[in-house]
């Protein structure tokens, strides 16, 4: 039965127990004064160290932590895939770079949280791509716009220091921004800043954005929010609380950080050189109406957008490889990354051909 007719999907018993336990810890980690009991949440948030021993489908994915600004604990976990057959990076070919922003309602988790680490490692192997998973400051201790500042500053610092911190086979002409949930929100806003401040990014070329169930909203209650009150992981009570902890004091949910599509005109989105975008939506995600509006709003303003909906997927389904939607999701993301990367190669090839023809013409005329 489709998500339009029921309010929650069928899930295996063990997965339901995992989700119930997670919801329990998160609910009790919220304090009445709007802060978070970090000590309690840390009981659930298992951290893992970087390592170089994980092999996924014959792809060896190593990881390491790179510090960018210790004063605000800004760092990223770097995932580098290498084939186990020849020891070369990604089979010896140049790899795209994905700068990834994790989910967690702006308030929870980090690149070293086990689900985030597992997900990025799998994505690096399956794409393949080098992934920089960003550790940004968390709300409510650090409110808007700290997360966006950390996200964009990561781009600037990688742009300035790439030769020191990235493997030699990364192709900076194939840079993608990506994120899930709140990370998808951050990826969008960082992409806008990158377009507006392109002069600060002379080496990184952002060619695509992957927004996985991005965390958007507004004062309005959409049909999906009203219908999916019993959906796993997320409901409007929880999202309202997360927005309150993230936004500046006194701001409502029509703030441009939240109600993104409604504020496109204020940033003249039609004239922003925004990258091609993939938006992933789930049929049991209460936020799906906001995500669909976002994709439609980009398309209306002349941007290249691909909207993919998995009818039985709930919010954060991508964190559970045992679900049937997971391989479909990985395939769709891989196809998008490879398609945009191919377009870059074709464009560069054409530019080189034009340059050669121009040189020959000048020599002939001379």
Question: Given the structure tokens 């600037």, which residue do they identify?
Answer: 156
Measured distance CA(23)–CA(11) in Å, rounded: 15
Q: Is 299 exposed, middle or buried (0-12, 13-18, 19+ CB in 10 A)?
A: middle
Catalytic residue among 63, 113, 133, 181: 181
Q: Which tokens is 322 given?
A: 């045992």
Residue carrying structure tokens 């927004």 = 211
65 is catalytic: no
Residue 289 catalytic? Answer: no
**Full 3-state SS string of 270-335:** HHCCCCEEEEEEEEECCCHHHHHHHHHHHHHCCCCEEEEEEEEEECCHHHCCCCCHHHHHHHHHHH
* Distance (Å, whole) CA 298 – CA 224: 20
How far, in Å, are 19, 201, 211, 277 from residue 151 at the CA level? 28, 13, 14, 18
Asked about 168 being catalytic, the answer comes back as no
For residues 131 and 63, give the distance between their C-alpha atoms in angstroms, rounded to a whole number: 9
Given the residues 188, 285, 289, 341, select the one marked as catalytic: 285
68, 62 contact by CB (below 8 A): no
Alpha-carbon distance of 261 to 259, in angstroms, equals 6
Alpha-carbon gap, residue 126 to 123, rounded angstroms: 5
Of these residues, 188, 189, 255, 315, which one is catalytic? 315
What residues act catalytically? 181, 285, 315
């Amino acid at each position: 039965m489709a998500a339009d007719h029921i309010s929650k999907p069928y899930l295996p018993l063990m997965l339901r127990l995992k989700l119930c336990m997670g919801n329990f810890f998160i609910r009790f980690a919220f304090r009445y004064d709007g802060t978070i009991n970090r000590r309690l949440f840390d009981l659930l948030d298992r951290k893992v160290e970087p390592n170089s021993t994980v092999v996924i489908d014959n792809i060896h994915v190593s990881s390491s932590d790179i510090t960018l600004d210790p004063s605000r604990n800004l760092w990223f976990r770097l995932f580098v895939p290498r084939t186990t057959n020849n020891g070369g990076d990604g089979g010896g070919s140049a790899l795209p770079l994905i700068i990834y922003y994790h989910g967690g309602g702006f308030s929870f988790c980090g690149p070293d949280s086990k689900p985030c680490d597992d997900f990025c490692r799998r994505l690096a192997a399956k794409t393949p791509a080098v992934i920089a998973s960003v550790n940004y400051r968390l709300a409510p201790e650090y409110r808007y716009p700290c997360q966006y500042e950390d996200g964009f500053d990561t781009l600037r610092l990688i742009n300035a220091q790439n030769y020191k911190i990235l493997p030699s086979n990364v192709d900076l002409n194939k840079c993608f921004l990506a994120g899930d949930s709140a990370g998808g929100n951050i990826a969008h806003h960082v992409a806008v800043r990158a377009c507006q401040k392109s002069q600060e990014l002379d080496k990184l070329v952002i060619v695509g954005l992957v927004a996985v169930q991005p965390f958007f909203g507004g004062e309005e209650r959409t049909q999906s929010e009203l219908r999916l009150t019993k959906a796993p992981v997320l409901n409007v009570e929880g999202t309202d609380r997360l927005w309150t902890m993230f936004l500046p004091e006194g701001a409502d949910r029509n703030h441009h950080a939240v109600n993104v599509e409604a504020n496109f005109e204020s940033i003249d989105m039609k004239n922003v050189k925004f990258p091609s975008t993939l938006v992933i939506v789930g049929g049991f995600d209460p936020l799906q109406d906001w995500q669909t509006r976002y994709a439609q709003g980009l398309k209306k303003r002349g941007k290249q957008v691909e909207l993919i909906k998995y009818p039985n997927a709930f919010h954060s389904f991508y964190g559970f490889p045992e679900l049937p939607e997971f391989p479909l999701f990985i395939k769709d993301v891989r196809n998008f990354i490879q398609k945009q990367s191919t377009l870059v190669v074709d464009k560069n090839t054409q530019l080189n051909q034009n340059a050669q023809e121009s040189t020959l013409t000048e020599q002939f005329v001379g």
